[in-house]
Amino acid sequence: MSMPPLNDTFQDARESSGVLNCPFQGKEVAMILRHRDVRTAAKDWQTFSSDAPFRVPIPSEEKVRSVRQLPIETDPPLHTGLRKIVEPFFRRPRDPDFRARIERLIEGLVDEAIDSSEVETVHEFALPLQSRALSYLLNLPESEAEEWINWGVHVFRDGDGPAKGAQLDSYIQTQLDRAESKPGDDFFSALTQAEFDGHRLTREEMTGFANLTFAGGRDTVINTVVGVIAYFGETPHALDELRRHPEQLKSATEEFFRILSPLTHIGRVCPNSTHVHGAQVEANERVALTWASANHDSEVFEAPNEVRLDRKPNPHVAFGFGPHNCLGAHHARAILQSLLQTLIRKIHRIEILQSIPKIEVEDRYQRQNGYEILRVRLLPISTQN
């Protein structure tokens, strides 16, 4: 299936110059577009640095949070050491028991959707799924997810960003206070007990880790889950095809991350002035590593706008590349693969009842990046019609 034209809005600029200069928050940012160039820049942290508090996300987040997110807003070797502190939690999806728990969660949500005759997949399916699965990852009670669900699809960008940022910070401080007074085996307790470079983490460092954990990987997982459901609703034969070829579950999972590319780009700051394919970038200004463009590069992917569930090889960069490769990649893959397994086992057909795309609109590009609303009916295999 060919995705909507807006999904490869970068094609002309990628093929002509490899760079798109686009203003964000009043400043021009050179968006690096080609797969090879994006991967090269992602590895070159000396030229394209992540040591830039609040400025790695685009748009930047100075107004919605007060701490540097860790470990993402640091460079190696500091980044490498900080990352090791939390990696044990983010490796948990490799455990079969953890995967089984995710599968049970998704099966329960699918059964609820079937029984309800219809479901709005953004807020009633994907948001609870992401939130409850995160409670498993952090080894916290599933009941904690109910508060996180109330934060919406994006913890900063849904509604009043500064107010929501303050709400998130208050929640984190409460959890850290609880963990310090009565430590357990959860994520917050691990932060309060962690040592780095010969000292316990400061409260600000703990908050930086927790802030990223709740702000990152939220809307991206939600948008990917909803995008998969929309795809099968629009392309019913693809669900049958995957059912006939379950050996393609892993390659299909990677292909959905590639084609949907839920994170358009991420920022890097140039400590020194540099040239990026003809674009002059002054010292302390940003570039954007544009994952969504790289994932449609026809020099790397044959028929890049088509979904090929058996695509191999698939060197997509939906989870980034290099030392800052996404910490949550194992978790996201576990969720999506479990979703696919459940759909092919239980669902005969998906009917789309209402669809309102979410369009990312900037001065020099527009791109569909999820749905505001996607209401569907899930028809189980037992009621084929």
**Average pLDDT of the residues in 61-86:** 96
**pLDDT in the model for residue 161:** 84
What tokens appear for 366 in the block?
A: 């527009």
Model pTM score: 0.96
**Average pLDDT of the residues in 258-273:** 97
Cβ atoms 22, 29 nearer than 8 A:
yes
**Chain segment 9-67, per-residue pLDDT in tens:** 999 999 999 999 999 999 999 999 999 999 999 999 999 999 999 999 999 999 999 99
**pLDDT in the model for residue 383:** 54
Q: What is the mean pLDDT of the chain?
A: 95
Closest CA to 32 of 325, 291, 360: 291
Task: Look at the chain and report how many structural domains it folds into.
Answer: 1
Q: Which residue has the tokens 């780095």?
A: 196
What letter represents residue 56's amino acid?
V
DSSP state, residue 59: S
pLDDT at 2 over 80: no
pLDDT at 5 over 50: no
**Chain segment 295-347, per-residue pLDDT in tens:** 999 999 999 999 999 999 999 999 999 999 999 999 999 999 999 999 999 99
Range of the domain at 242: 5-383
Of 136 and 2, the one with more pLDDT:
136
CATH of the domain at 261: 1.10.630.10
For 198-208, b/e burial (b = at least 16 CB within 10 A) is eeebebebbbb
